[in-house]
Structure formats: C-alpha cells, structure tokens
Structure 1
Amino acid sequence: MKFRNFKMVDYVVYGSGCFDQLGEILAPRRVGDAPMIFFVDEYFQDKQAFLSRIPLQGKDKIVVIDVTDEPKTKTVDKIRDELQAEFGTVSGIIGIGGGSVMDMAKAVSLMMTNPGSSADYQGWDLVKFAGVYKVGIPTISGTGAEVSRTCVLTGPTRKLGMNSDFTPFDQIVLDPSLTSTVEANQRFYTAMDCFIHCVESLQGTYLNAFSKSYGEKAQELCEEIFLRKTTWDADADEKLMMASYAGGMSIAYSQVGVAHAVSYGLAYLLGTKHGIGNCIVFDKLEEFYPEGVVKFKEMVKKHNIEIPQGITRGLTDEQFDTMINVSLGMAPLWENALGKDWKEIMTRERLRKLYERL
C-alpha cells in the first residue's frame, strides 16, 4: 500500500495580537526591492486603524479583494497580469480575510510562476512549479482555507480547486482578535462550513486515525461553542479559530462529502457563497448524515439563524443539468461519502431530486 506524502503549512504563529509580528516574519522573505503584495478583504478598505497595522515597506502594495463573488479564474489571471506588468516579480502574496481572500492569495501566488490560465490548473496535482512566498491570515474562522492544499476557483466550465502540494501557505498567522467584529450570521455560516466538513470527514470512507483525531476535536469545539456556550466572547473566538485549523487538517488527509459536492453546483450556477451554500444543502441531508443534521438544526434554532429555502424553485432542466454536471465532477468527494460504487448510488435522477428540495 502506498501512503500519501502530505504537505503541510511550513510555519504557524498563534495568539491574540500576533498579527503585529507580521513585519518581523516577512523581513527575511523579502527579495531585493520586490514588493510584498497584501490582499485585503474589502471589509477592511475603510478601516484605517487596521490598515495602519499592515507593515508596508518600499514598493509594497495593498490590493483590496472584492468578495461579492467567490474567486474566479479570470480575476486571478487579471491580478497576476497586473502585478507582473507593474513589478515584474514580487517577494510574496499575503492574504488577509476570509476563505475567498486566502484562496485568491494562494492562486495568484501560484500563477506568478506557472504559465497560462489558472483554469488550466483546476484539478488534482496539475500545478508544476512552486508559487511565490505566500501567507494566510484568516479574519473569520471556519473555512480551513488557511491549512488546505487547495484554492477553490470558479472557472469557465466548473468550480474546482487548484489542488496541489504547491498550494498550501508557507506561513499562517492565527490571531483570534482579528475575528472579533464578524457579524453573527456570517460567523455562523462560515463556522458551519467547519462543522459540516468534520461530519463529512468522520463519516467518510477515506477516514483514518490522522483525520479522525483532528475532525473529532474540531467538531467537539463547534458543538461547545454553538450548543453549550451562552454568550459570544474572546474564548469563543479562540476556540473557533482552532476548530477551523483542526477541521482543515481533518480533511487534508481525507475528504469532504455530499454537502460540499452538491453546494459546488449551487455556487457555480447561482453564485451561492460557500458557507451558506453548505448550510442550505446540509439542512436537507438527513438520509446521509442523520446525527450531524440533528445537531446542525439545534444550532440553527439556538442562534436564530435563517437558512434560505426554495432557492432552486423555477430553474430550467438545463440549469439543473449544469448543477448536476458540476457536482458529479467532484469524484473524490462522492467516493469519500458513498464508496467506490458511488456512481450507482448517486444517479443523476437522485441528485436532481435532491437539488429540487433545496
């Protein structure tokens, strides 16, 4: 049996306030006068107190990332072209924000050194060359993008990540104080991304002791925060950040499952954001994850969260087919969820009925 040689993030710094060590961390990674490029979530574009903490030097530049839509291959290519035209090369890309901003940072880093379009690398182990130095700094917890070996992109024909050993960050900065101002609904949807991929990992056919140990801890933290805690505080921010990290690690050596596979179709066709898309789908997956869905519904009720209903009502056959094609393209997710004969289990007809329930 051949075991996968798993590439992890090289360096991790954790602690409330550790963001202020960023300048010190970046210093030895600067190459001549080539700048560091800071991708910053648009939420912070008018937050001068925060922006002033970014350790700009020389030709360094802040690029505000529009997160209205999740990352698109054409946007990645455009930013890459602009950076190369302006600077030639850069010392590094630092992504400060949620999963979309971190995925954008990973993708542009890779495309600074790989030819063609980022759409050419949507898949598994297609990236040929290491990207420029890259740092991930989450300002919302749950996606696990800070530790994953993928950056999920919507391309011309599909929504699929650049999954490779070159994709993980070289450094992550885990500062729970950066998440303290996240709006409650958004925090819930993103946290449930973590909870859901833990459920999917722990019930998957790819499960092993490595992924199980991380997944169980992440799920336990999510349940403590969203089922047993009565108030949100700094302790909750810290625990959710570690749940996100552990949850990301849990799927690194396993996979996610039905909710993620189905939500990719929603995102591609309707532009549904990843966290809320997973919630919309998971809400209807009792037949696959009965215990997890019961706990999820308890959390929804306890925190007065609205899960959108009827979002596929009125879609055409062609639109349903588009979603089904995108979803069924996620073969590793389906195999993890249903086993090697998943194609016999999840037929197009069954998947169509599932989409119709959303």
Structure 2
Amino acid sequence: MQFRNFKMVGYVVYGRGSFDQLDEILSPQRKGDAPMVFLLDHFFKGKALEGRIPLRGKDRLVSADVTYEPKTTQVDQLAKELKDAYGTVSGVIGIGGGSTMDLAKAVGLMMNNPGSSADYQGWDLVKNPGVYKAGIPTISGTGAEVSRTTVLTGPTRKLGMNSDFTPFDQIVLDPVLAEGVPVNQRFYTGMDCYIHCIESLQGTYLNEFSKSYGEKALALCQEVFLHKDHWDAQSDDQLMMASYAGGMSIAYSQVGVAHAVSYGLSYLLGTKHGIGNCIVFNHLEEFYPEGVREFKKMVDKNKIDIPQGICKGLTDEQFDTMINVSLGMKPLWENALGKDWEKQMTRDRLRALYEKL
C-alpha cells in the first residue's frame, strides 16, 4: 500500500498582532535587491492595512482585483509583468481572502515555471519550485492558507494547480485582520470551512489524520455559528483556527458533492466559491442529511440570505458546460460516492441538481 506523503506549510505564526512581525519574518528571505511583491486584496485599497505593509527597496504593492476568482490569464499577465520588470523576485506575499492567497501561490509558481498556468491545472503537473510564498488571511474559512492547491479558472475548466510546490512557505494567522468583515461574507466563507468538514468527515477517503482535524474544525464552526449569542473577538480567533484545521482535514482526504457542483457554477456564472457552496449545500439533503439540517439552522440563526433560482433560464449548452466542469472533479466525486461514482452521478442526475439551484 502506498501512503500519501504530502507537503505542509513550512512555518506558521498565530496570534493577535502577529502581522507586525512580517518585516522580521521576510528579512532572511530577501535575495539581494530582488523585491518582495505584496498582493493585497483590493478591498483594502486606501485602508489602514495598506499602510502597515513593510515595503523596502524595490518592493512592489499590487492591489489584487479579486472581484472574480483568479483566472489563468490574470496569473500569467502578472507573472510576465514581474519577470519583465525585475527578472526575478524574492517572494510573493498574498494578503486577503482565498482568491488573493490562491493568486499569490499561482504567481509564485509561475515565476519559475514556463508556459501558462493553464498548463498546470491538474494534479502534480508543476515541475519546479516557485519563489518564496507567504499567505496572510484577512477572512477565515477557505483553508487556502494551508492547501496544496491554487484554484484557477482557465480557458476550458476551473481546476487547481495541485502540487507539492503549491503550499505556502509561511503563513501569518492574525485574527485581528478578520475583524469587521461584513456579516454575510463572513458567513459564506465560514460555511466553506463547515462544508469542507462535512464532506471530509463523510467521505470514503477519511482516515484518523483528516478526521482529527475535521472534527475540531467542525466543533469550532458549530460553536461560532450555532452556540454563540453574538460575535466577539474570540469568534474571530476560533474561526481562523477552524479554517486552518478544516484545510488540514482535506489535505489528507478530499471535499465532496457541494464543491464539485459549485465549481460548475463558478466557471459558468462567476459565482464566488463561498456563496456557491452555500447555494449548492442548501439542496444536498440526499447526500448530507444531518449536515444540511444543521446548515439551515445556522442560516436562520445568523439571518443570512441564500440566493435561489440562479440557474433559471440557462440553455442546454450552459447546463452541459457546468456538468462537464463538475464531472471533471474526479477525486471529489470518488471521495463523496466511492469508486463507482460515475454510475451514481449520471449527467441527468447532475442536471436535475443544477436545475434546483
């Protein structure tokens, strides 16, 4: 039997105010006058966090437009700009949500790999280590800070660059950065973590490694979204750790039906990952009955709107596009339904599921 030998994040710093150590953390990683490139979620343009970034020398601050999830064209363009301007860089630092961190991972990889990032969408296709990469989440739930993938929308599919070279070398988990996230956005992203846990804990790939992390992350999500009367500083601490543990849980297992279906929505309609997972999970009683019941309680308790009818009026061709993208996520379906998943999840069954959304 071959056991999975997977790469984890190199260094982790956790704590309120730990962002202030960033200059000290990055100093040993600087190579001559090659700059550090900071990709900052455009949400923070002109805000206080922008002024706290420790820029030195030729360092470059890029306002990362993550209105839509990262595209291979966006990654390629940014990597080309950096190569043309500097030849090489000391590192790429992603500060923001999952999309910003995924963008940083992808650009970091493409600094040292030829061709287009679309060439590396899949499993273990990346051949060379990227430049130094650090991730700093400002919202909790995606698990992008610890995952070995960087999810990208390419010309023909939405699929990650899944490789041992993808994880960050360093992450900075400072719950203060997550304060003040709008309630709906915090919920959608937090539910990404909750859904990771449900899918991982009920999947066929489950083992004690993923179970240990998944159970802890699930308990933290339940505490924050079900059992607390109001949001407080501790809630930010707890959700940031839930995101980390949820990401670790799927590192050794996989996600499942909600993620596989939401990739189709994202590819065709541009639906953001967190809200897409919520839209899909709302209709998955047949696969995750207890999880969906609890999810609906969380939606009610937190007074959240889950959009309905987003697939209304789509053409057969558009449904086929989503189905093709979704069925391409083979490990996710296998984790959810087992080795014979293709017999269970027919195109007609998947079409009927999309029609409900």
TM-score class, shorter-chain normalisation, is over 0.9
- TM-score (structure 1 length as normaliser): 0.99
Q: Which position in structure 2 is the counterpart of 1:32? A: 32
Mapped to 2, the partners of 1:346 and 1:2 lie a distance apart of 28
Mapped to 1, the partners of 2:45 and 2:60 lie a distance apart of 13
Q: Which position in structure 2 is the counterpart of 1:302? A: 301
- 2:69 partner SS: coil
Q: Letter of the aligned partner of 2:329 in structure 1?
A: M
Q: Letter of the aligned partner of 1:280 in structure 2?
A: I
- 1:172-217 CA-to-partner distances (Å, cap 9, x unmatched) read 0000000001100000000000000100000000000000000000
Q: Which position in structure 1 is the counterpart of 2:208? A: 209
Q: Letter of the aligned partner of 1:316 in structure 2?
A: T
Equivalent positions of 1:82-161 (< 5 A) are: 82-161=81-160
Mapped to 1, the partners of 2:66 and 2:295 lie a distance apart of 26
Q: Which position in structure 1 is the counterpart of 2:317? A: 318
Deviation at 1:51?
Answer: 1.6
Mapped to 2, the partners of 1:177 and 1:200 lie a distance apart of 29
- 1:146 partner SS: coil
Deviation at 1:123?
Answer: 0.1
Q: Which position in structure 2 is the counterpart of 1:262? A: 261
Q: Which position in structure 1 is the counterpart of 2:78? A: 79
Mapped to 2, the partners of 1:240 and 1:55 lie a distance apart of 26
Mapped to 2, the partners of 1:52 and 1:297 lie a distance apart of 40
Equivalent positions of 1:208-357 (< 5 A) are: 208-357=207-356
- 1:147 partner SS: coil
- TM-score (structure 2 length as normaliser): 1.00
Q: Which position in structure 2 is the counterpart of 1:191? A: 190
Deviation at 1:2?
Answer: 0.6
Q: Letter of the aligned partner of 1:82 in structure 2?
A: E
- 2:291 partner SS: helix
Alignment partner of 1:44 is 2:35: no
Mapped to 1, the partners of 2:24 and 2:312 lie a distance apart of 52
Deviation at 1:141?
Answer: 0.1
Mapped to 2, the partners of 1:262 and 1:209 lie a distance apart of 27
Deviation at 1:50?
Answer: 1.6
Mapped to 2, the partners of 1:39 and 1:136 lie a distance apart of 10
Q: Letter of the aligned partner of 1:11 in structure 2?
A: Y
- 1:71 partner SS: coil
- 1:89-121 CA-to-partner distances (Å, cap 9, x unmatched) read 000000000000000000000000000000000
Alignment partner of 1:3 is 2:40: no
- 2:180 partner SS: coil
- 1:288-323 CA-to-partner distances (Å, cap 9, x unmatched) read 000000000000000110000000010000000000
- 1:207 partner SS: coil
Deviation at 1:53?
Answer: 1.1
Deviation at 1:52?
Answer: 1.8
- 1:138-178 CA-to-partner distances (Å, cap 9, x unmatched) read 00000000000000000000000000000000000000000
In structure 1, the gaps of 5 or more residues are none
Deviation at 1:46?
Answer: 1.1
- 1:62 partner SS: strand
- 1:214-252 CA-to-partner distances (Å, cap 9, x unmatched) read 000000000000000011110000000000000000000
The structure 1 segments of at least 4 consecutive aligned residues displaced by more than 4 Å after TM superposition are none
In structure 2, the gaps of 5 or more residues are none
Identity among equivalent positions (%) equals 77
Q: Letter of the aligned partner of 1:4 in structure 2?
A: R
- 2:161 partner SS: strand
Mapped to 2, the partners of 1:239 and 1:26 lie a distance apart of 26
Deviation at 1:287?
Answer: 0.1
Q: Which position in structure 2 is the counterpart of 1:22? A: 22
Mapped to 2, the partners of 1:285 and 1:150 lie a distance apart of 25
Q: Which position in structure 2 is the counterpart of 1:70? A: 69
- 2:321 partner SS: helix
RMSD of Structure 2 on Structure 1 (CA): 0.4
